[in-house]
Amino acid sequence: MALSAQQIPRWFSSVKLSSFITATQLRKRFQRPGKTLSHGFFAQPQLSSDDCFLRCGFKTYRTSSLWNCSQTTSSNRQEIGSVQSTLLPAVNARSQKTQKIPSFDSEPSEEGLDDLPPLSPLQPVSEEEAVQIIADPPLPPSSFTLRDYVDHSETLQKLVLLGVDLSKIEKHPDAANLLLRLDFEKDIKQIVLFLKDLGIEDNQLGTFFTKNYAIFSEDLENLKTRVAYLQSKNFSKADIAQMVRNAPFLLSFSVERLDNRLGFFQKELELSVKKTRDLVIRLPRLLTGSLEPVKENMKVYRLELGFKHNEIQHMITKIPKMLTANKRKLTETFDYVHNVMRVPHHIIVKFPQVFNTRLFKVKERHLFLTYLGRAQYDPAKPNYISLDKLVSMPDEIFCEEMAKASVQDFEKFLKTL
């Protein structure tokens, strides 16, 4: 039976003590008159080769470990035996009566080890044994941060190397528990390779997994099926990669949901198949987000703002974000452009970018043009100012081409507002 980690030091100490007593007796028996040193040991005269071997062997045993002692050759054991039989007959006889000198090179027999009493977990441990115990730092049973587990989890370490932000994932306890149960090679590697084959770049994987960590719980075959469905709807591989990058949760939805969403936009907006496909490519969140804002905004455009159905179609195909824009922002922008700037519906329809611009920017530029007497937005009249250029041009071009003034004049005017 093999020695346990705690039994070896005790067996080693018993052998060491017995050997020390016997070796001390040998030195006293064969000690020649010598000079006593101040430390209490005897200064030994020159020894024969056999005596020297005994002494050296004893010294080696005391200063080296058990594993080094076990490497002594069989020839050395024969020399020790011959010394004991020829030079030390009296000692041999005496030791046979009292006790047998344990060999420094022999290994403990299994019979002797079987007789050792079982160790108790409450048994005291000596300081010498305690310093030999090597234990890994304990894994915290619970924690509010994944940082405590990174050193213990190869999966978390590799996710960090991919660029995953664990500080965002740990805010969701269910997600953190999921990652701690996963094996990178079995559960994550295949998802990584699948996304790379789809067209997701290495530097995009971290952001993707930070947002959609739930994809690790998806079956790979289901992911492939959803990609195959999109391909059957004539979405190219590049289109699908773009949609997945911009809407990381896209592949987490079933084929049935994706099909229902595409059907909703095609029917509700009365768009052609190609325009519906272009719409979701540019804003794939339409397939993953809630439909309530979309339905609400459609009512706002039609009932509150007074746009016709074909006008709504034109605007949303140019600016898909108008379907999910904040209702208050839409109404405030329309009210200012239509009622203050006096821009009619058909002009707004041509330049729906105005709904995608911060309202304070539109106000600042319109007031500056009004101050200069150049606020003219009718294309049929001279000095026409396009809504598109009004909201999209940088200050330098706006001042030079539209306001016919310097940037310094514009900045001074803004300070008066």
Q: What is the pLDDT of residues 184-194, one digit of tens each?
A: 999 999 999 99
Domain end position, chosen among 334, 354, 374: 354
Do residues 382 and 394 both lie within one domain? yes
Domain end position, chosen among 304, 323, 354: 354
pLDDT tens-digit readout, 289-330 = 999 999 999 999 999 999 999 999 999 999 999 999 999 999
- Whether residue 206 is contained in a domain is answered as no
Do residues 303 and 315 both lie within one domain? yes
- Whether residue 48 is contained in a domain is answered as no
In this structure, of 109-118, 198-207, 339-348, 359-368, the range with the lowest mean pLDDT score is 109-118
45 pLDDT higher than 80: no
Query: Which domain range does residue 304 map to?
Result: 291-354
Do residues 342 and 361 both lie within one domain? no
Q: How confident is residue 136, by pLDDT bands cut at 50, 70 and 90? A: low
Do residues 328 and 366 both lie within one domain? no
Q: Which comes out higher in pLDDT, residue 125 or 273?
A: 273
Facing residues of 36 across strands? 42
Please check whether residue 361 is in contact with residue 391, taking contact to mean a CB–CB distance below 8 angstroms: yes
Count of structural domains within the chain: 2
3-state SS, residue 42: strand
pLDDT tens-digit readout, 10-26 = 444 444 444 444 444 44
| Structure-block tokens of residue 165 | 């932000």
Do residues 350 and 361 both lie within one domain? no
Helices (H), 212-308: 220-232, 237-246, 255-268, 273-282, 285-288, 292-299
| Predicted TM-score of the model (pTM) | 0.62
54 pLDDT higher than 50: no
Q: Which comes out higher in pLDDT, residue 377 or 82?
A: 377
- Whether residue 386 is contained in a domain is answered as yes
- Whether residue 50 is contained in a domain is answered as no
- Whether residue 362 is contained in a domain is answered as yes
Percent with pLDDT over 90 in the chain: 54
Do residues 370 and 397 both lie within one domain? yes
- pLDDT value of residue 126: 79
Please check whether residue 11 is in contact with residue 3, taking contact to mean a CB–CB distance below 8 angstroms: yes
Q: Helices 89-98 and 7-29 meet at what angle, rounded to 10?
A: 140
Domain end position, chosen among 354, 374, 397: 354
Please check whether residue 188 is in contact with residue 155, taking contact to mean a CB–CB distance below 8 angstroms: yes
Please check whether residue 372 is in contact with residue 403, taking contact to mean a CB–CB distance below 8 angstroms: yes
Please check whether residue 224 is in contact with residue 266, taking contact to mean a CB–CB distance below 8 angstroms: no
Closest CA to 319 of 261, 359, 363, 278: 278
- Whether residue 250 is contained in a domain is answered as no
- Whether residue 117 is contained in a domain is answered as no
Q: How far apart are CA 205 and CA 197, in angstroms?
A: 12
- Whether residue 366 is contained in a domain is answered as yes
